Amino acid sequence: MIEVQLQVNGAGVQYTVPDHTLLVEFLRQNCRLTGTHVGCDTSQCGACTVNLDGVAVKSCTILAAQASGGSVVTVEGLAAPEGKTLHPVQNAFVQCHGLQCGFCTPGMIMAVDFYLRKPPSLSEASICHALEGNICRCTGYVNIIESVRHAAREMYPELDAPGSGKS
Amino acid sequence: MIGKPIPRVEDRRFVTGQGNYTDDINIDGQAHAAFLRSPHAHAHLRSIDITAAAEAPGVLAVLLGQDYLDAGFRGVDHIPNPADAVISSQPAFLTSTTGAVFNQRHIPLPIDKVRYVGEAIAMVIAETPLQARNATELIDVDYDVIDAVVHGADAMQPQAPQLWDGAPGNLCFQTQIGDREAAQKIIADAFLVVRREFHNSRLVNCQMEPRSAIGCYDATAETYTLISGSQGAVRQKLCIAAALNVPPASLRVVCPDTGGGFGPRSFVYVEQIAVVWAARHVRRPVKWTSDRSEAFLSDYQGRDQIIRSAIGFSKEGRILAIDNEWIGNVGAHTVSYVPMSNGTRIMTTVYDVPVAAVHVSAVLTNTVPTAPYRGAGRPEATHVIERMLDLAALELRIERAELRRRNLVTRDKLPYRSPMGLTYDSGEFARNMERALELADWNGFPARRDLSSANGRLRGIGMANYIESPVGAPRERIEMTVLPEGVVDLVSGTQSTGQGHETTFAQVVAQYLGVPMSAVRLRTGDTAFVSIGGGSHSDRTMRLGGMLLVDTSTQIIAHGKQIAAALFHTTPECIDFAEGKFSHSASGQQVSLFDVAGHVASDGMPDNPSMKKLFAEAEFNGRVPAHPTGAAICELEVDPDTGIVTLLNYTSVDDVGQPINPLIVEGQVHGGLAQGIGQALSEGCYLDRDSGQVLTGSYMDYGMPRAGSVPPLRVELTEDPTSGNPLRVKGGGESGITPATATIFNALADALRPFGNDELAMPATPVVVWEFIHRKQGSAHVI
């Protein structure tokens, strides 16, 4: 057993868990944050993507103990806790119909959140590269890619200016 | 509200992580199940020693198939033979040359032998998932491994290993539809005969949510509860209750948010029965969640249909007759014959074919059972006829679009009865194709091909026309209650696996009752309050459910007029209803729908004072004649050095009827198309043809489409109205996928024409394409 301390969505949590506990298990079972999903067992699908210390990680691929001392943001913590305002990425997925069954969506959103933490390229190739680690079966990705662009334009209005990296 | 591209009302909970899938649910005191699965495709079970497993830490029980039978349960009847596409009160396949149509009850854990790699043999229930899983490894099974057969045609050979005693020759059934003698005679005399075999590859469903199930048992009331995502709670309840030998009322099935359906989740899985059985056995809730590796070995799979086609053409390119041989690979258990019934019924698609016949064989093999997978037989049928038309066009030297023009069912022939017995009531087949040709600039293609050639690329263009059939479970029900607090409560027998019912149902009700969409509350997926309904598949939800929403709304308005008339001391005929209000123009009095509901709550209905709810119910059992149809065109490039295929653009003209929400319909087209692209170019469930071992067991070796797999799209919705249902719904769930592999394979064949005319294996992965170009033998084979 090992003691794991984390900041999760801004709040400190501490549990003693078996050494082999994955971060995703820690989040789902100990923290009861079930928005982070498990869609595979080979680190391919990305449904478990969370943000750890500013970087998008697949939480099935890291031990909770390795993350200990760090700060995690899950899909539950993405929007401002007060009020009803969605994060621009969450809102974009709603507006663009970027989800159907919703199972891959939290991981998608966390991957896109990371991609958009600095001014992004909105080219098809760049967006697809950013989404390479996330699998969706429902949408054909068409509206997910649209959601990325929609969120980016909301977060970086200057991207809509002529000649601003849309190529 | 109808027809508006409104963002979905259910999305907020999904984007904030508040979705509630089965694995997100935990019941106090729950134990956990794990399954030992077979490493062999075919083996007698000589003995199973559970001693060590039963003594392992945390283990509560180890259960085998014999324990299941000893508990008084029986195998589940999957009802594999579906309701007929035309006469829904009878099964699709009535006769078999082998005798009766075979239907083997499916015992959750086999008694005698295992029949596919991954079949569950034993269940361990333990305090934690890890303890349960570890204990499965302590079970000692003595296998007598015997020969396996995984390919449908191999299984029909006289010496093939036999799966079930009740199905000699591995045949579930064999039957003849249409006049084969007449078809063969016409073909023998035809100017041109095209013959070709197509193997529509086996697919893994790959819904993103791994299957999960929680079983509960109330020993006092002797009732069971199953919590498990699926495509329809009512079917699960009826099939599982029958297997448990209890009345349906003794089992409640709860279906929370479900992470994708695509067909196979309409059917019962053995693990779902096993957890409720286990819950009774250990007197605690029992939970099981599949991992993805298990999903690749045990989720019902799609396609795997072999079709040998012969078509006779006149010199002018008219189809004279079709004679098809259809071999459906059922897998190891009789779960579903839907792909064969759907596929054979639709096989002449939108073409005016004078004579058609098909000989169908449903074949058992040592593979995961197959089930309907998006389109379920119709993409396979479309693939065949559209490839055959392109092959004929080459031989006849008739341009491909022109050959289709000569054969399409023209508008003036509607209603048109196909030789397979379907009646098309609407559809501008020619107009749809012409529009697709225009959007795709079909005529400008040669110049684009020259451009690609100059860059060392092989460019191709292909097309396919398609039509769907209105099949699926024929029975559906809607209950509508207007509550005084401003809510229209709906209970529906169908439920979403991602299609956005909370939005589209609200749009329909808002339109008819003049209430805000936010007033509509849809409840589904729990047999505690859902009594009847078929679930989501085959485009049936809005076709049947929509009709019932209109029916119940109309009833509510009629009830409301009665009440308003009583309030205003007039007759119902003098009451108007608009924008959610009943009004009496003579007196200028008005009352809102919800205030009417308040009056009913206090005083009851005028004709029935004890009825204190403004309530309507409607039920349907039958077929709604609605045929989604359309045309698709794909343009692609092949890199001859690598065999890599790049889709350049894709055009889709789809008549889905009236789209309730175009945003959602287009999303359905995108998703279906991605699955079609996956099947055409990357997805294949590869098995070793001799041993039956699974070669594609994870997302690392199964070619799921990724972002970027779908090329730039032109999706255009069109409508030739059907009069068969009040909302003019045809269906949008399968329009993307149905013509997809046909379109892509026609484009590929066009690009690769300089290298010959043989059929490419499916999926046309880079190695398949490269070998085609470089004329090497022994390309990858997909069973």
Q: Where are the domains of chain A?
A: 2-77, 88-160
The rounded distance, in Å, linking the Cα atoms of A52 and A59 is 9
B485-504, pLDDT tens digit by residue? 999 999 999 999 999 999 99
Q: Is the pLDDT of residue B780 over 70?
A: no
Distance from CA of B374 to the nearest CA of A (A): 11
Which pLDDT does position B252 carry in this prediction?
98
Instruction: Identify whether the C-beta of residue B557 lies closer than 8 Å to the C-beta of residue B575.
Output: no
Per-residue tokens: B712 = 């730039």
Q: State which residue of chain B sits closest to A18, comparing Cα positions.
A: B130
Which pLDDT does position B569 carry in this prediction?
95
Contact between chains at B257 and A99 (C-beta distance less than 8 A)? no
> How many Å is the maximal CA-CA distance in chain B?
88
The rounded distance, in Å, linking the Cα atoms of B771 and B248 is 56
In one-letter notation, the amino acid at residue B375 is: G
Chain A residues with CB inside 8 Å of B12's CB?
86, 94
pLDDT above 70 as % of chain B: 99
A16 touches chain B (CB under 8 A): no
Distance from CA of B675 to the nearest CA of A (A): 8
B415-457, pLDDT tens digit by residue? 999 999 999 999 999 999 999 999 999 999 999 999 999 999 9
Q: Is the pLDDT of residue B741 over 90?
A: yes
What number is the ipTM of this complex? 0.96
Instruction: Identify whether the C-beta of residue B737 lies closer than 8 Å to the C-beta of residue B375.
Output: yes
Q: Is the pLDDT of residue A164 over 60?
A: no
- B 245-264 residues inside an 8 A Cβ radius of A: 257-262
Q: Is the pLDDT of residue B683 over 50?
A: yes
Q: Does domain A88-160 have CATH number 1.10.150.120?
A: yes
Which pLDDT does position A162 carry in this prediction?
53
Domain ranges of chain B: 11-146+211-289, 302-471+624-774, 491-620
Mean pLDDT computed over B307-320: 98
Which pLDDT does position A159 carry in this prediction?
82
Half-sphere exposure of B389 (CA within 13 A, CB side): 34
Which pLDDT does position B538 carry in this prediction?
85
Q: Let me know if B337 is exposed, middle or buried by CB neighbors in 10 A (0-12, 13-18, 19+).
A: buried
Contact between chains at B12 and A86 (C-beta distance less than 8 A)? yes
Contact between chains at A39 and B208 (C-beta distance less than 8 A)? yes
The rounded distance, in Å, linking the Cα atoms of B371 and B419 is 26
The rounded distance, in Å, linking the Cα atoms of B661 and B1 is 9
What is the edge-to-edge ordering of all strands in the sheet holding B520-523? B520-523, B487-492, B475-483, B614-621
Q: Is the pLDDT of residue B783 over 50?
A: no
The rounded distance, in Å, linking the Cα atoms of B639 and B631 is 27
Residues paired with B520 in a beta bridge: B488
Contact between chains at B12 and A42 (C-beta distance less than 8 A)? no
CATH topology of domain B491-620: Aldehyde Oxidoreductase; domain 4 (3.30.365)
Q: Name the class of domain A2-77.
A: alpha beta
* Cα B230 versus chain centre, distance: 12
Matching CATH topology for A2-77 and A88-160?
A: no
Instruction: Identify whether the C-beta of residue B673 lies closer than 8 Å to the C-beta of residue A140.
Output: yes
B371-401, pLDDT tens digit by residue? 999 999 999 999 999 999 999 999 999 999 9
What is the DSSP pairing of strand A11-17 with strand B713-718? unpaired
Which of B9, B11, B668 should one mutate to test binding to chain A, selecting the residue with the greatest count of A CBs within 10 A? B11
Q: What is the mean pLDDT of chain A?
A: 94
Q: Is the pLDDT of residue B778 over 60?
A: no
A9-40, pLDDT tens digit by residue? 999 999 999 999 999 999 999 999 999 999 99
Residues paired with B99 in a beta bridge: B96
Q: Helices B546-567 and B501-513, interaxial angle, to 10°?
A: 40
In this structure, the dihedral spanned by the alpha carbons of residues B68, B268, B151 and B692, taken in order and rounded to 10 degrees, is -50
Candidates A117, A100, A125; CA nearest to A151 is A117
Q: What is the mean pLDDT of chain B?
A: 96
B184-205, pLDDT tens digit by residue? 999 999 999 999 999 999 999 9
Mean pLDDT computed over B121-130: 98
Of the pLDDT bands very low, low, confident and very high (cuts 50, 70, 90), residue A128 is: very high
What is the model's pTM? 0.96
B695-731, pLDDT tens digit by residue? 999 999 999 999 999 999 999 999 999 999 999 999 9
The rounded distance, in Å, linking the Cα atoms of B436 and B442 is 8
In one-letter notation, the amino acid at residue B156 is: M
Cβ neighbour number for residue B293 with a 10 Å cutoff = 18
The rounded distance, in Å, linking the Cα atoms of B183 and B322 is 6
Q: Does domain B11-146+211-289 have CATH number 3.90.1170.50?
A: yes
Q: State which residue of chain A sits closest to B700, comparing Cα positions.
A: A44
* Backbone φ, ψ for residue B746 (5° rounding): -65, -40
B292 touches chain A (CB under 8 A): yes
Contacts (Cβ under 8 Å, ≥6 apart) of A29:
none
**Sequential DSSP letters for B578-636:** ETTEEEETTTTEEEEHHHHHHHHHHH-BTTBTT--SEEEEEEEES------EEEEEEEE
Mean pLDDT computed over B159-178: 97
Q: Is the pLDDT of residue B666 over 90?
A: yes
Which of A40, A49, A134, A149 should one mutate to test binding to chain B, selecting the residue with the greatest count of B CBs within 10 A? A40
Which residue is associated with the tokens 């207007």?
B482
In one-letter notation, the amino acid at residue B344 is: T
Q: Helices B270-282 and B233-243, interaxial angle, to 10°?
A: 60
Chain A residues with CB inside 8 Å of B17's CB?
33-36, 74-76, 106
Which residue is associated with the tokens 């009352």?
B591
Of the pLDDT bands very low, low, confident and very high (cuts 50, 70, 90), residue A83 is: low
Instruction: Identify whether the C-beta of residue B392 lies closer than 8 Å to the C-beta of residue B192.
Output: yes
Q: Let me know if B713 is exposed, middle or buried by CB neighbors in 10 A (0-12, 13-18, 19+).
A: middle
Which pLDDT does position A163 carry in this prediction?
47
A116 touches chain B (CB under 8 A): no
For B22, B388, B514, B551, B621, the CA distances from B556, given in Å and listed in that order, are 35, 52, 12, 9, 21
Contact between chains at A76 and B16 (C-beta distance less than 8 A)? yes
B83-104, pLDDT tens digit by residue? 999 999 999 999 999 999 999 9
Chain B residues with CB inside 8 Å of A142's CB?
667, 670, 674, 710, 713
Matching CATH topology for B11-146+211-289 and B302-471+624-774?
A: no
Instruction: Identify whether the C-beta of residue B720 lies closer than 8 Å to the C-beta of residue B655.
Output: yes
Instruction: Identify whether the C-beta of residue A35 lies closer than 8 Å to the C-beta of residue B16.
Output: yes
Contacts (Cβ under 8 Å, ≥6 apart) of B442:
B401, B436, B461, B463, B633
**3.40.50.920, 3.30.365.10, 1.10.760.10, 3.40.50.1820: which CATH number matches B302-471+624-774?**
3.30.365.10
Q: How many residues does chain A have?
A: 167
Candidates B201, B187, B29; CA nearest to B687 is B201
Q: State which residue of chain B sits closest to A77, comparing Cα positions.
A: B16
pLDDT above 90 as % of chain A: 90
Which pLDDT does position A161 carry in this prediction?
58
